[in-house]
Amino acid sequence: MPLLELKGVSAGYTGASVLNKITLSLDAGEIATLVGSNGAGKSTIAKLVSGILTPMQGEVIFDGKSVKGLSASDRLRLGIAHVPEGRQIFGGMTVLENLRLGAYSVPSRLSMDIESQLAFVCMFFPVLKDRLGDVAGNFSGGQQQMLAIARGLMSRPRLLILDEPSLGVAPLLVNEIFQLIQRLRGEGITILLAEQNARQALSIADRGYVIENGQMVMEGAAAALAGSADIAERYLGIGTSIGANEDKDARMARELLRIVA
Ligand SMILES: Nc1ncnc2c1ncn2[C@@H]1O[C@H](COP(=O)(O)OP(=O)(O)OP(=O)(O)O)[C@@H](O)[C@H]1O
Ligand SMILES: [Mg+2]
Structural domain for 174, as ranges: 2-221
CB of 40 within 6 A of ligand 1: the answer is: yes
CATH number for the domain harbouring residue 73: 3.40.50.300
Claim to verify: residue 119 and residue 238 sit in the same structural domain: no
> Which atom of ligand 1 is found nearest the CA of 40?
21
Q: How many domains does the chain have?
A: 2
Nearest alpha carbon, ligand 1 atom 12? 18
CB of 36 within 6 A of ligand 1: the answer is: yes
Q: Is there a contact between 84 and 161 (Cβ–Cβ < 8 Å)?
A: no
Claim to verify: residue 251 and residue 217 sit in the same structural domain: no
Q: Tell me which ligand sits closest to the C-alpha of residue 36.
A: 1
Q: What is the separation of C-alpha 170 from the centre of its chain, rounded to a whole number of angstroms? A: 18
Pocket test for ligand 1, best of 44, 82, 166 (most atoms within 8 A of CB): 44
Q: Residue 251's pLDDT is what? A: 54
> Of 242, 204, 238, 202, whose CA–CA distance to 218 is shortest?
202
CB of 19 within 6 A of ligand 1: the answer is: no
Report residues of the chain scoring pLDDT below 50. Answer: 239-246
Claim to verify: residue 240 and residue 183 sit in the same structural domain: no
